[in-house]
Structure 1
Amino acid sequence: MQRDQAAHGDVQFLTGSRHRPAVLAALCEEPARPHELCADIDVTRTTIQRILAGFRERRWVVKRDGDYRATVTGRRVYERYAALHEAVTCGRRLGPLTAHLGPEGDDLPVAALERGRLTVSEDGSPLAALSRFTEWLQGVEGEMRAISPVVAQPFNEIGAELLSGGTDIEFIIDSAVLAQSRAQYESDLEFGVDHDRISIYVHETPLSLGVAFDDERCCVVAYDDANNLKAVLEAGSGELYEWTTAVFERHRERSVPLSAVYDRENAGTASGDG
């Protein structure tokens, strides 16, 4: 326990000031003297001397012939710090997306998260993600596959335009979306049911995220508990595209065609009449 506490104290020392990692990073690059570090990092000589004393106490740095040099352990400490800093930076950037993906997004590749284009709805731009996703849908080329945990009139209208333009669509919804579509968008639903270019599937359990992809692009769409669109992550070919296609195929396996849902309902009604 004492060793763990000492290590925790060392972590606190390194992260207690933004100048300390900067000094350690500089010494990992090349040996330096205090006045050189002062010039590069723009801190007082007293601050540099205190930092160097703390580093020497922890054996992260040694002094030889007037120069301060990072030790092997000092380099390792900085490498791990840099990796943690990068992960935290990524977490802050992607938090608005990942916080609303639910368990279905737990296996989303980190590299895909970092490389994709992210649009977030924030206080200053509450409709940014919605606008971007609308633009993405309007730019669909070739076939489109999508999962959606929500239904909205603007998306229905874009879907109708795509179908009229010759786009083939496979679309997965859940029972709640189906019920809302029947209650509020019955004509749109019937248009989709009757159209030969769209296949609609109903997922066996509630959906918690949206995905969409065409022949060359993909996106992941996150909604909050009130079904407000909070973030969109998009990319071309690569890990994110492979992930979205795998998620779609996995969900389609757990879904039934909408026509089968209607057949079951009709069979139940007929049985009740008898």
Structure 2
Amino acid sequence: MTTGDAAKFLAGSPERRRLLTSLSADPATPADLAETLDVSRRSVQRHLKDLVDRGWATKTDGRYESTTTGELVVEEHATYLDALDRIDAFGPFFRHLPDSDHTPELRWLRDATLRTATEQHPQAPVEFYVERVRAFDGDRVRMIAPVLSRLFHRAHADLAFDGVHTDLVLSASTIAAARDLNPTEFDVVTSVDVLTVYEYPDEVGFGLTLGDDRLLMAAYDGDGPLRACIESTDPDCYQWAERLFERYVEQSTTIDSPFSVPFPRRK
């Protein structure tokens, strides 16, 4: 029996999956299984014979139970189906990420919150991002951004007024565009003592914001709009995101401002 054959066998009938799952919980007779699963007795008998032939179940005194192999099949198949469901649910997020190196593992997203742009609510992920950033605790935020958006400025300015320091990674092209648009404003913004700007040499194709215990990750389409945003507090996901941030910082150059300005704090 090949792996492909086993997968086809399970995929070929929902009744087989339900039967094997039931046997992994409790041994049962064919009559019990037919009643519990609302499946004909004939179908149950046929499927049980197949499960026994594959070594996934055994029969003792008229009762069937799953083998260790059968239990492993149930567990791994459930994991596989769960992964497919998660891929589908987070599809609007995954499809706009640059590549697999910038994609968190599926298991880390089990309890993550996702917001996506829709035709009826195109600003949903932006509003979600702003709302969650304002809920950040701590005295430091680390951020990678593909664009400079005034939609985010107010939320991050509120953090700055509270004395929160932001480490911000921007692409060289984004920094050049900001300088060209308003050189004085750029110098003033980069001079405040609650902001450190890093210039990354290549384009940045995603957004990442790290608070003390949670992260926000943003996926943009090719034209710039934010298409999806997730929030996660999973420790493994957070550590992965920290490593990703540090990798970008290591390849970046700190922007030195011509002067230093203390940012006003709230009293």
Does TM, normalized by the shorter one, top 0.5? yes
Name whichever of 161-170 and 245-254 sits farther off.
161-170
- Picking from 100, 103, 111, the partner of 1:115 is 111
1:58/1:217 Cα in 2 relative to 1: closer, same or farther (>3 Å)? closer
- Picking from 151, 164, 167, the partner of 2:164 is 167
Partner Cα separation in structure 1 for residue 157 and residue 85 of structure 2: 40
What does 1:56-71 align with in structure 2 at a 5 Å threshold?
56-71=52-67
What does 1:189-200 align with in structure 2 at a 5 Å threshold?
189-200=186-197
Aligned length: 257
Residue ranges of structure 2 left out of the alignment (5+ in a row): 259-267
Partner Cα separation in structure 2 for residue 128 and residue 185 of structure 1: 29
Name whichever structure is richer in helix by fraction. Answer: 1
- In the other structure, the counterpart of 1:93 is 89
1:250/1:128 Cα in 2 relative to 1: closer, same or farther (>3 Å)? same
The two structures have a TM-score, normalised by structure 2, of: 0.82
Q: CA RMSD in A?
A: 2.7
CA contact (8 A) 2:108 2:234 kept: no
1:84 CA drift (Å): 1.5
Residue ranges of structure 1 left out of the alignment (5+ in a row): 263-274
- In the other structure, the counterpart of 2:209 is 212
Partner Cα separation in structure 2 for residue 140 and residue 230 of structure 1: 22
Partner Cα separation in structure 2 for residue 12 and residue 236 of structure 1: 37
Q: Are 1:242 and 2:239 counterparts? A: yes
Partner Cα separation in structure 2 for residue 52 and residue 174 of structure 1: 60
1:8/1:216 Cα in 2 relative to 1: closer, same or farther (>3 Å)? closer
Deviations 1:235-260 (A, max 9, x none): 34722322222222221111112338
What does 1:1-274 align with in structure 2 at a 5 Å threshold?
4=2, 7-103=3-99, 105-106=101-102, 108-123=104-119, 125-141=121-137, 142-182=139-179, 189-236=186-233, 238-259=235-256
CA contact (8 A) 2:56 2:68 kept: yes
1:29/1:215 Cα in 2 relative to 1: closer, same or farther (>3 Å)? closer
CA contact (8 A) 1:104 1:209 kept: no
1:133 CA drift (Å): 0.5
1:83/1:104 Cα in 2 relative to 1: closer, same or farther (>3 Å)? closer
Partner Cα separation in structure 2 for residue 18 and residue 55 of structure 1: 14
1:171 CA drift (Å): 0.8
1:29 CA drift (Å): 1.7
1:50/1:106 Cα in 2 relative to 1: closer, same or farther (>3 Å)? farther
CA contact (8 A) 2:97 2:103 kept: no
Query: Taking every aligned residue pair, what percent have the same amino acid on both sides?
Result: 26
